[in-house]
Amino acid sequence: MKDLLLGIDIGTTGTKCTFYSLDGSVAASAYREYPMLRPHPGWAEQDPALWWEAVCGNLRRCFDSGKVEAGRVAAVGVSCTNAVTLVDSRGEALCNALGLHDQRSSSQLEWLRAHVGAETVLRRTGNRLAKGSFALPRLKWLQENCPDAVERSYKFLTPGGYVIQHLTGEFVINHSRANLTLMADILTGDWAYDIVDAAGFPRRLLPRSLPACAVAGEVSRAAAEATGLLPGTPVAAGNVDTVAATMAAGAVEPGDMAITIGSSGRLCYISDRPILDERLLNCESPVPGRWTVIQTTDNAGVSLRWFRDVFGGVLAESAQREGLPIYTALSRAAAETEPGAGGLIYLPYLSGEQSPIWDPDARGVFFGAGLGTGYGHFVRAVMEGVAFSLRDCLELVRGNVPAPELIPLGGGAANSPEWCQIFADVLNIPVSRFPLPETETLGDAITAAGCAGLDGLPFDFGKRLCAAGERFEPRPELAAMYDELFARYRSLYQKLRSEFCKANNSIC
């Protein structure tokens, strides 16, 4: 009986594979972390081989647990983070993938402005000509700096496309991910060959662009041996991780909104048309005739992971002694610290920032430390700083749409009740904590259900989950304090903007 759906999410710092029953419950799940590679300042790379190794290892662990059987899997959905790599005709990577936080393509960006045009890109693709979320500047960098690899390449792929190729042998990209290459038509998802040609990018390197629920291919015999899946299992084209997470949170109709806090933070709004504002990102939604309008802050969960890696040793011993995960210990330290972190403010711009400031030169800052500042103040300031960055995004969206009565919150931050409360307080809007461990893989499973023609997980399945999620109400007594701290947060960036620019030897 085909009563399971598999969601695979290829993230910036790790890959999760989760099997869902048709009622949305988790049958089995596994996660594997891997490093970000930083061979030079401003560079951010990933080893594509680790994506596939993580998928194979995760699936083997799930099957070995005895909780799931390959014969029960109806279909597979895949979502992914933003990275690009070049592959040969066998699907093997010819170079490391250039990731979301990579900032090396400044000169290529200026060339594209001059030869393609920012207005043309915005009008045709629905997105701004910029680094970070968008693939084209990084692909131009590879053309100019790795010409031999480009010459030997068969296609360029994103992480989801790389995993799908290893599962099926097919070279594809989904419409939402194609939207963020700056080379696809925002209304159709098809390649915009006028931009491709003007950019000088070889057409032969373009994978097939497919809607989210289209069948990209079937699991091959070789992939079945590597993963434990059955040959012939259909694999959907999939989504951008943000789009999958937003759908899973129940945001599917115009006016719906959701927040997902993973490695990056995403505030998303569903629209019946793209919103052509260069401060916003537009992607096709899995729901026909809908678009996911995205604002993204690059260093949300990454900020807490960075703090864990650099300063977590202070808590590691006591956390281990109490049998607590380190993130639980960090959340407790924040909960034991008064709101406002004693006036300590954190700008979460560790590798530049996207929405709404779009400044690749911005960097992380702690402001206001004094002799009375303790460890918990720093932890809480990180959490509040990420919430301020999402409020900065929300202020822009409020100019286009009414504020929602409730915002679903998913991703890793939803595991921390204290962080959920911080978001409610800083945004001054009730927050519903998503009741499942993650939203991306659930969105993948919903996409897989659409691919397989199953009714068990409809597009709006997440609405009933969010209605049952724990609700966090903003505390009125904190509103004035957070308004003041948020104003200071924005002011700090404006005052430091030119210093960031000088520190990175950019043209100010």
Strands 26-33 and 208-210: unpaired
CB atoms within 10 A of CB 495: 9
* Per-residue pLDDT, 399: 67
Higher pLDDT, 225 or 508: 225
Distances in whole angstroms, Cα of residue 195 to Cα of each of 103, 231, 501: 22, 38, 30
Range with lowest mean pLDDT among 348-362, 391-405, 453-467, 486-500: 391-405
Q: Residue 72 gets which letter from DSSP?
A: G
Separation of alpha carbons 90 and 166, rounded Å: 9
Strands 431-433 and 407-411: parallel
Separation of alpha carbons 285 and 271, rounded Å: 9
Question: How do the residues of the chain divide into helix, strand and coil, expressed in percent and rounded to 5?
Answer: 40, 20, 35
Compute CA 17 distance to the chain's CA centroid, rounded to the nearest angstrom.
16
Question: Residue 400: is its pLDDT beyond 70?
Answer: no
Separation of alpha carbons 60 and 30, rounded Å: 9
Give the pLDDT mean for 320-333. Answer: 93
* Per-residue pLDDT, 341: 98
Structure tokens at 506: 């950019």
Question: Residue 87: is its pLDDT beyond 80?
Answer: yes
* Per-residue pLDDT, 467: 86
Question: Residue 437: is its pLDDT beyond 90?
Answer: no
Work out whether the CA dihedral 318, 324, 329, 335 comes out positive or negative.
Answer: negative
Whole-angstrom Cα Rg for the chain: 22
Question: Residue 398: is its pLDDT beyond 90?
Answer: no
pLDDT class of 174 with cuts at 50, 70, 90: very high
Structure tokens at 110: 């200026």
Question: Residue 159: is its pLDDT beyond 70?
Answer: yes
Higher pLDDT, 83 or 317: 83
CB atoms within 10 A of CB 406: 15
pLDDT class of 402 with cuts at 50, 70, 90: confident
Separation of alpha carbons 248 and 246, rounded Å: 5
Find all residues with CB under 8 Å of 101, minimum gap 6, and list them: 12, 36, 44, 132, 298, 299, 302, 351, 352
Instruction: For 462-473, write each residue's pLDDT tens digit.
Output: 998 888 899 999
Find all residues with CB under 8 Å of 344, minimum gap 6, and list them: 366, 367, 368, 369, 373, 377, 378, 380, 381
* Per-residue pLDDT, 508: 66
Which range is most confident: 122-131, 259-268, 461-470? 122-131
Question: Residue 244: is its pLDDT beyond 80?
Answer: yes
Question: Residue 507: is its pLDDT beyond 80?
Answer: no
Percent of the chain, pLDDT > 90? 85
* Per-residue pLDDT, 382: 98
Which residue type occupies 56?
C
Give the pLDDT mean for 293-319. Answer: 91
Instruction: For 350-363, write each residue's pLDDT tens digit.
Output: 988 988 999 989 99
Separation of alpha carbons 285 and 390, rounded Å: 21
Structure tokens at 171: 């070279």
Question: Residue 396: is its pLDDT beyond 90?
Answer: no
C-beta of residue 341 within 8 angstroms of C-beta of residue 485: no
Separation of alpha carbons 169 and 163, rounded Å: 9
Percent of the chain, pLDDT > 70? 99
Separation of alpha carbons 313 and 307, rounded Å: 10
Judged by phi (left if over 0) then psi (alpha if -120 to 50, else beta), residue 214 lies in beta
Which single residue is written with the structure tokens 């210093």? 499
Which single residue is written with the structure tokens 């015999």? 221
Range with lowest mean pLDDT among 142-151, 176-185, 273-282: 273-282
Q: Which has the closest alpha carbon to 125: 229, 274, 232?
A: 274
Separation of alpha carbons 239 and 444, rounded Å: 8
pTM, entire model: 0.88
Find all residues with CB under 8 Å of 456, minimum gap 6, and list them: 5, 21, 22, 23, 24, 449
Structure tokens at 505: 């030897």
